Structure 1
Amino acid sequence: MFAVTVLFQIKEGQMDAFMPLMINNAQTSLKTEPGCLQFDVCADPARPREVFLYEIYDDEAAFKMHLTSAHFLTFDAKVADIVASKAVQTFKQVMQ
Structure 2
Amino acid sequence: MPSRPLTIVAEFRIPAENRARFLELCAYDSERSVADEDGCQRFEAVSPLDDAQTIILVEVYDNEAAFETHLTTPHFKVFDAGVKELGAQLISLRKTVRVAPAA
Structures share fold, TM-score greater than 0.5: yes
Which residue of 72, 84, 92 maps to 1:87?
Answer: 92
CA offset at residue 14 of structure 1? 1.0
Which residue of 9, 12, 16 maps to 1:12?
Answer: 16
Read off the aligned partner of 1:36 and give its amino acid letter: C
CA offset at residue 6 of structure 1? 0.6
Corresponding residue for residue 82 of structure 2: 78
- How many equivalent pairs are there? 96
Q: Which runs of 5+ in 1 are unaligned?
A: none
Corresponding residue for residue 55 of structure 2: 51
Read off the aligned partner of 1:60 and give its amino acid letter: E
- Quick check: 73-82 or 25-34, which moved more? 73-82
TM-score after normalising by structure 2: 0.84
SS in 2 for 1:79: helix
RMSD: 1.5
Read off the aligned partner of 1:10 and give its amino acid letter: I
SS in 2 for 1:34: coil
Aligned-residue sequence identity (percent) comes to 28
The structure that has the greater radius of gyration is 2
Corresponding residue for residue 33 of structure 2: 29
